[in-house]
Structure 1
Amino acid sequence: MDFFNYVMVLASVIVGLAVTHLLQGVARFIQHPDREKLYWVHLLWVGTIFLNALLLWWWEFKLALMAHWTFELYLFVIGFAVMLYMICAVLMPSDLGHYKSYRAYYYSRRRWLLGLILVFGLMDFADSAVKGVAHLASLGWIYLSFVAMRPLLLLAAIKSRNEKLHGAVAIIVAGQLLTMAFLNFRTMQ
């Protein structure tokens, strides 16, 4: 087994746990539809982060081309997966506790959730840079505009409780992910 496969086994387990966490939450919605009131912005983020988890496995394949692995790169890849798990854990609580709805929970945890998503986005840029200047350049100006725009959107949403802004940010981030997936990650080389 080469080192890439060795590292990706652990990262894949962590990402798999993140996906499992989200799917268990969605299953609870289906099993007990009247237990807690759902919230459309929260559901948008659930879908967006699920998509992000699927794409993480896909875009990390480029790391197979890394000829020289360092301990720092190993920690970074594992940290990237851990960050995704933490986003899923904050996004999909196992119990709402004293919150009466997912809307109340979402707005009470928005700073944590969107802050983690912001850090994850910065880690994504670092991940793209680690893969080399040629890889970063191949992603094009669209990716760089997304990298510049996303933190501004997330910071605005962190500071605001405006429902339309939160919905728009979730839709824009999902759109950015889908755009990048179809423009740059359609095939493995």
Structure 2
Amino acid sequence: MDAFSYLSVLLSIIIGLAMTQILQGYRGMLLARARIILYPPTLIWSVLILLFATQSWWASFGLNDYKGWTFGTFSVILAQTIFLYMLAALILPDMPAGETIDLKAHYYREIGPFYSLTIAMLAASLLKDWMLDGRLPEPRNLAFHFAFAGLSVLALIARHRRLHEAIAPLIGLCTIAYIAALFDRL
């Protein structure tokens, strides 16, 4: 077994757990549908996190030929994956039996940790590229990271409902364009 195959197992497990968090949240919402107060940003972010997890797994294949593995390099990649898992764990609330579940209240309660983890995940992504290649990613990739980070900082400090309702779909559209432009093929 080569180093990539060995190391990718742990990353794949954490990505799978992140996807499981979201899918279990959807199951819980289906079962509690009569008690759910929906909120579009929460639902959009849950789909985005599934997309991030899929893209992360897809892009990790690009590490297949990397031969300079160090514990530090792997730790940064692992941290990025852990931040993704934590986003998945935060975006949808637990679904206690018999209680009304307000996705809007949950979203605003978790803004601080959610967007802080988003910024941390983006920083780990940039650090990963620096450690793997000795440079930041190519300009389109870097522009996406900065735009995404800027919107996340804005969402972290501003609590305006309309802003949050605009940021989630905007990041969604940018993410789809980002994946289409940079990660269409293995």
Same fold by TM (over 0.5)?
A: yes
Distance 2:119 2:80 in 1: 12
Verify: 1:153 aligned to 2:151, yes or no.
yes
User: Deviation string for 1:110-137 (max 9, x for gaps)?
Assistant: 1111111111111122223334268823
1:14 maps onto 2:43 in alignment: no
The answer (yes or no) to whether the contact 1:83–1:116 under 8 Å persists in 2 is yes
Q: Which amino acid aligns with 2:156?
A: I
- Give the alignment's TM-score, normalised by structure 1: 0.88
State the distance in 2 between where 1:6 and 1:148 align.
32
Instruction: Name the CA distance, whole Å, in 1 between partners of 2:76 and 2:55.
Output: 17
Q: Is the 1:129–1:135 Cα contact (8 Å) retained in structure 2? A: yes
Distance in 2 separating the partners of 1:106 and 1:19? 19
1:23-172 alignment, distance < 5 Å: 23-95=23-95, 101-132=102-133, 136-137=137-138, 141-172=139-170
Q: Give, as a single letter, the amino acid of the residue that structure 2 aligns with 1:104.
A: A
Cα distance change, pair 45–96 in 1 and its aligned pair in 2 (3 A) = farther
> Superposition RMSD on alpha carbons, in Å?
2.1
Task: State the distance in 2 between where 1:124 and 1:33 align.
Answer: 36
Unaligned runs of 5+ in 2: none
- Give the stretch that moved more between structures: 93-102 or 71-80: 93-102
Task: Quote the offset at 1:23 in angstroms.
Answer: 0.3
Please, which runs of 5 or more residues in structure 1 have no aligned partner? none
Count of residues paired in the alignment: 185
- Distance (whole Å) between structure 2 residues aligned to residue 129 and residue 36 of structure 1: 43
The CA deviation string for residues 94-151 of structure 1, in whole angstroms up to 9 with x for no partner, is 23698851101110111111111111111122223334268823xxx33222222222
TM-score scaled to structure 2, two decimals? 0.90
Aligned to 1:34, what secondary structure does the other structure show?
Answer: helix
